[in-house]
Structure 1
Amino acid sequence: MSAAWGHVVGIVILLMMLSFIGIWIWAWLPFHKKNFDALARLPARDDTRAALDEGGLQ
């Protein structure tokens, strides 16, 4: 293999790492907190609704 191939692979890996870090930073931005909190409550809310439909909770 040529040295140029090693440089191409290195650049691709660097771009993949930067993309991962960028997505990670984007996910932790403060304005996403409200949406993530609402999404975290979905399983509990769905269980409560299902129990109400079955008559399990009053």
Structure 2
Amino acid sequence: MNPAAVQISPFWGNAIGVMIVLMLLVFIGIWVWAWGARHKPTFDRLSRLPMEDDELVPPHSQELRS
């Protein structure tokens, strides 16, 4: 064993393990919430925004973008 290795107490080892599990559960919860069926209409509408952008730009400003 390396004499310079730091030993942590079992309490902190368990506390870190619990925190990792809690963070994983929060991540999975946010993922499930975001991919829920009730969010699909909003995401579909937001996904079309980049394509609708050209319709909102006046014709004379198209020349400036080129």
TM over 0.5: yes
Aligned partner of 2:50 in structure 1 is: 43
Higher relative contact order (CA 8 A, sep 6+): 1
RMSD: 1.2
Percent identical among aligned pairs is 48
TM-score (norm 2): 0.74
Partners of 1:10 and 1:19 in 2: CA distance: 14
Q: Which has the higher helix share?
A: 1
Contiguous gaps of at least 5 residues in structure 2: 1-7
TM-score (norm 1): 0.83
Partners of 2:54 and 2:20 in 1: CA distance: 43
Partners of 1:19 and 1:33 in 2: CA distance: 21
Aligned length: 54
Larger radius of gyration: 2
